[in-house]
């Protein structure tokens, strides 16, 4: 299947504030981004539906959205709490979820050169350890699960912008 081979990319981030995109097929760095000194990137997530788009978060609450193919990025900050988890929607390449150390979750939309908060959830008592989108839309619900250090899993209905269930 040589005519169907595609390049596989992966990303890394480090405490020196550098985010790198690598080509697994060609064994080289595609692009690197270093925004500023004294930054510690906590989380990086590569979009599953938009090639070259990733979201990263740092210990000061800064959100970085970088398209490493076009080498363009935007940043914003909506909380001073450390970003612990981040993920992109499998349904909408402009929609992303951010989980903070203080238990807050925001759903953001990025359009061209701006980032806007679409939804703000404040239900967990402790840090958000993981955010996971449902791989399927069930009963017209786009669901996001949040797992917290408070030992709960919360399900969020993104379409209706509300809490759905606690497990």
Would the pLDDT of 127 be above 90?
A: yes
pTM (global) more than 0.85: yes
Of 163, 80, 77, 157, which is closest to residue 123 (Cα–Cα)? Answer: 163
pLDDT tens digits, one per residue of 56-79: 999 999 999 999 999 999 999 999
Would the pLDDT of 2 be above 80?
A: no
CA distance 145 to 87: 11
Residue 93's pLDDT band (cuts 50, 70, 90): confident
Coil, strand, or helix at residue 4?
A: helix
Residue 13's pLDDT band (cuts 50, 70, 90): confident
Complete edge-to-edge strand list for the sheet that includes strand 41-46: 41-46, 53-58, 62-67, 72-77
């Amino acid at each position: 299947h040589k005519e169907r081979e595609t390049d596989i990319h992966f990303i890394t981030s480090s405490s020196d504030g550098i985010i790198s995109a690598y080509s697994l097929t060609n064994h080289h760095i595609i692009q690197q981004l270093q925004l500023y000194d004294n930054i510690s990137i906590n989380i990086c997530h590569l979009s599953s539906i938009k090639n070259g788009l990733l979201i990263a978060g740092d210990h000061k609450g800064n959100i970085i959205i970088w398209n490493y193919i076009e080498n363009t990025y935007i940043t914003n900050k909506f909380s001073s709490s450390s970003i612990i988890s981040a993920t992109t929607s499998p349904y909408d390449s402009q929609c992303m979820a951010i989980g903070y150390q203080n238990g807050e979750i925001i759903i953001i939309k990025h359009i061209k050169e701006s980032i806007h908060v679409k939804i703000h959830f404040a239900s967990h008592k402790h840090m958000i350890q993981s955010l996971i989108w449902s791989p399927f839309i069930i009963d017209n619900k786009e669901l996001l699960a949040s797992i917290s250090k408070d030992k709960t899993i919360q399900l969020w209905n993104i379409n209706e912008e509300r809490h759905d269930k606690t497990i």
